[in-house]
């Protein structure tokens, strides 16, 4: 996978490409259809498939403070794109200057002069250039002028719903991570560094949690408790001598079952919204590690309990339900994993 951060990093000797363009926040099922079509065309032509994406989100420039929460940071978008057959990713810094480029300038500079595109694949709602003046018709006209094939893909609909990033965010706001996962075609996940929390989970309650630091721009499910998976994403194995693992070391890249709390801790009067993961059957020192938490299903809303005993009863029920849900989910994971 080649990653080019800006037009100047694209190799001058690139002899051709098939390009798909978009923000691709979330890389949901609709985005995946674009990438797969572009990858197929690239294989047929014997050229690389290039995804062009933008960072930051365009609305961050036009509506600062009102931009949508982020479903997938750019580095994760790149990882997901590679899984769909994309060979290279061009990350464009979205600025007001870029937004002011005419549709023709946008097309000729990026697609013709730099990427030497043989074909372009976009969704039917794609617009480009000054004030979004470049439409499907504009794209086809410019393609004909410059000898670039243009494929306009219809938007993906399922169950009378248009699969889009807004739909995913709406499901998350409702706490319906199962439906968000359906729209994404994978489990929704967040990634961050484990930081020190209040420390009461292990000391007072017997449920040590990994507290994730996440920017406020990251999309989170509604406040509540969820069943999910926990994965260490850096390369450091947790040392058995400094951990208290019940069942051996925690290994990077391995999914571990987890109960996840999203939101504040009303029982203790905490007002800061956070993500805390209780990894089942583990008690390792995870501070400073980079991890991923995947959400599988919603267990219950966030509740203010009358006392610690009521909270402990609820947490025990959460763990039992998590085991039940993830036993079923693991069967799906195993079925989707190729074997030699």
HEC-encoded secondary structure of the chain: CEEEECHHHCCCCCCCEEEEECCCCCCCHHHHHHHHHHHHHHHHHCCCEEEEEEECCHHHHHCCCCCCCECCCHHHHHHHHHHCCCCEEEEEECCHHHHCCCHHHHHHHHHHHHCCEEEEEEECCCCECHHHCECHHHHHHHHHHHCCEEEEECCCEECCEECCHHHHHHHHHCCCHHHHHHHHCCCEEEEEEEECCCCHHHHCCCCCCEEEECCCCECCCCCEEEEEEEEECCCCCCCHHHCCCCCCCCCCCCCEEEEEEEEEEHHHCEEEEEEEEEECCCCCCCCCCEEEEEEEEEEEECCCCCCHHHHHHHHHHHHHHHHHHHHHHHHHHHHHCCCC
Catalytic residue among 276, 294, 309, 324: 276
Cβ within 8 Å of residue 105, ≥6 positions away: 129
Residue 316 burial (CB count, 10 A): 12
The HSE-up count of residue 254 (CA atoms within 13 Å, CB side) is 10
User: Partners of 279 in the beta sheet?
Assistant: 258
- Alpha-carbon gap, residue 136 to 41, rounded angstroms: 19
Question: Measuring CA to CA, which residue among 94, 123, 111 is closest to residue 31?
Answer: 123
Tell me, yes or no, if 241 is annotated catalytic: no
Question: Measuring CA to CA, which residue among 331, 337, 260 is closest to residue 291?
Answer: 260
Written as six digits, the tokens of 163 are 């699969």
* Residues designated catalytic: 276
């Amino acid at each position: 996978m080649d990653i080019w951060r800006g037009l100047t990093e694209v190799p001058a000797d690139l002899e051709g490409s098939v390009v798909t363009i978009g923000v691709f926040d979330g890389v949901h099922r609709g985005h995946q259809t674009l990438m797969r079509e572009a990858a197929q065309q690239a294989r047929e032509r014997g050229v690389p498939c290039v995804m062009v994406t933008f960072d930051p989100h365009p609305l961050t420039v036009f509506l600062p403070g009102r931009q949508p929460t982020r479903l997938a940071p750019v580095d994760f978008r790149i990882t997901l794109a590679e899984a769909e057959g994309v060979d290279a990713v061009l990350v464009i810094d979205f600025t007001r200057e870029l937004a002011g480029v005419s549709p023709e300038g946008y097309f000729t500079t990026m697609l013709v002069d730099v990427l030497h595109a043989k074909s372009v694949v976009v969704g039917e709602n794609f617009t480009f250039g000054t004030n979004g003046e470049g439409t499907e018709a504009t794209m086809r006209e410019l393609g004909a002028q410059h000898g670039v094939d243009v494929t306009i893909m219809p938007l993906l609909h399922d169950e009378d719903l248009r699969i889009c990033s807004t739909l995913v965010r709406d499901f998350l706001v409702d706490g319906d991570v199962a439906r968000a996962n359906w729209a994404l075609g994978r489990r929704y996940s967040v990634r961050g560094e484990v930081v020190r929390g209040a420390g009461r989970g292990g000391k007072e309650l017997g449920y040590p949690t990994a507290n994730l630091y996440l920017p406020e721009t990251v999309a989170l499910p509604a406040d509540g408790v969820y069943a999910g998976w926990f994965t260490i994403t850096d390369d450091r194995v947790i040392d058995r001598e400094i951990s208290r693992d019940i069942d051996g070391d925690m290994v990077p890249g391995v999914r571990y079952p987890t109960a996840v709390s999203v939101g504040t801790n009303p029982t203790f009067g905490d007002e800061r919204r956070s993500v805390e993961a209780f990894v089942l059957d583990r008690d390792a020192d995870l501070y400073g590690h980079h991890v991923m938490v995947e959400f599988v299903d919603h267990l219950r809303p966030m509740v203010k309990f009358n006392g610690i005993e009521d909270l402990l009863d609820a947490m025990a029920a959460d763990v039992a339900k998590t085991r039940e849900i993830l036993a079923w989910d693991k069967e799906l994971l195993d079925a989707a994993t190729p074997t030699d």
